[in-house]
Structure 1
């Protein structure tokens, strides 16, 4: 009986890991568990629970730093300073709304908070919303249509103070640090979701 329970437990664990497995980034639950063993995340998790935002984004994705962490000799995950947690909550509230309304039915967060040194090394803008914990970079499945996201930004983005950008890599940047949009050359004019007359360069 004990052996059966052990096998069943392993099966459940593998099922959970499989269902949460990322499709674009090596920083999975296994790597996160190793990192979290040496870093404090309990208070951050409790903040999310208290705000009823825990699980909106899997914790190992929400704490991913820049994708260039190896090249920059940095940590694969990072917890934003406590003073910036309101920014985390505002962007998670937006992601929850986008998910609940079917605008983003499925996505993977590949970069969230970055400390300023890592952000510089990774080529981020000096005033990047990532350094203030407002931003996430996401990847959508190949079948996903980004137009509903554009339509949400055009009609409700200002109320959310929402920034929306898309890079040549296919990543989409979402934040709550200012109503703006940009595309491959970091100007609003190159955005897949530009408003008429827009063209000013933006900070990512």
Structure 2
């Protein structure tokens, strides 16, 4: 029954034009959250007026390779990293408020260092410090407004913007930089203004 429900949800989301990243949905999150303390993290988001900028079950998704790496599907970042979470969520909120980032799905956020290594993340990945999210946009979405925002305001936000061959877009507030499919700035869909 649950599998049929998941398939139906994927069809509904597909029709709505939103990509379904993986099986880590609300149901799976509710099961996980029952055994894990998320209340202090949620309260921090409420106090910062950032709760709901990203649905909590997406914001706590670990690496997409969690199953392959025998890791948890979700993770609460250490409280020492919560200021980093706030900075990236404030960026995402601004992008949403400006109509640049409306429909998206977070498929990876905080990763503990061992999961990051197993998943093939960069040694000093912003994901391990809770600065970063990887998102999927609907197939019809134009990523160029993100690029223009990065060019005009990215330095002030300390914004990293990358796009991977899978179509995922990486956003962080851990340094003004951009990259593309091969990991270099030269392959980015976004170039630094002259």
Q: Report if TM-score (shorter chain) is over 0.5.
A: yes
What CA distance in whole angstroms lies between the structure 1 residues aligned with 2:191 and 2:114?
Answer: 31
Q: Which runs of 5+ in 1 are unaligned?
A: 1-14, 198-204
* Kept after mapping to 1: 8 A contact 2:106/2:133: yes
Cα offset, 1:196, TM superposition? 6.0
Cα offset, 1:195, TM superposition? 2.1
Q: Which residue of 2 aligns with 1:175?
A: 172
Q: 2:97 aligns with which of 87, 92, 100?
A: 100
Q: Which residue of 2 aligns with 1:7?
A: none
Q: Against the structure 1 CA distance between its residues 160 and 196, is the aligned structure 2 distance closer, same or farther, given a 3 Å change threshold?
A: closer
Q: 1:86 aligns with which of 77, 83, 87?
A: 83
Cα offset, 1:90, TM superposition? 0.2
Matched, 1:158 2:155: yes
Corresponding residue pairs, total = 180
* Kept after mapping to 2: 8 A contact 1:22/1:28: no
Using structure 2 for the length normalisation, give the TM-score: 0.90
- Highest relative contact order (Cα 8 Å, sep 6+), 1 or 2? 2
Cα offset, 1:114, TM superposition? 0.1
Cα offset, 1:22, TM superposition? 6.6
Q: Against the structure 1 CA distance between its residues 132 and 29, is the aligned structure 2 distance closer, same or farther, given a 3 Å change threshold?
A: same
RMSD of aligned alpha carbons: 1.6
What CA distance in whole angstroms lies between the structure 2 residues aligned with 1:44 and 1:195?
Answer: 35
What CA distance in whole angstroms lies between the structure 2 residues aligned with 1:50 and 1:180?
Answer: 30
* Structure 1 residue matching 2:146: 3-state secondary structure: helix
Q: Which residue of 2 aligns with 1:48?
A: 45
Q: 1:114 aligns with which of 111, 115, 123?
A: 111
* Structure 2 residue matching 1:90: 3-state secondary structure: helix
* Structure 1 residue matching 2:134: 3-state secondary structure: strand
What CA distance in whole angstroms lies between the structure 2 residues aligned with 1:191 and 1:69?
Answer: 27
Q: 2:132 aligns with which of 135, 159, 162?
A: 135
* Kept after mapping to 1: 8 A contact 2:19/2:138: no
Q: Which residue of 2 aligns with 1:63?
A: 60
What CA distance in whole angstroms lies between the structure 2 residues aligned with 1:106 and 1:168?
Answer: 20
Using structure 1 for the length normalisation, give the TM-score: 0.85
* Structure 2 residue matching 1:45: 3-state secondary structure: helix
The runs of at least 4 consecutive aligned structure 1 residues that moved more than 4 Å come to none
Q: Which runs of 5+ in 2 are unaligned?
A: 1-8
* Structure 1 residue matching 2:171: 3-state secondary structure: strand
What CA distance in whole angstroms lies between the structure 1 residues aligned with 2:93 and 2:192?
Answer: 24
What CA distance in whole angstroms lies between the structure 2 residues aligned with 1:157 and 1:66?
Answer: 25
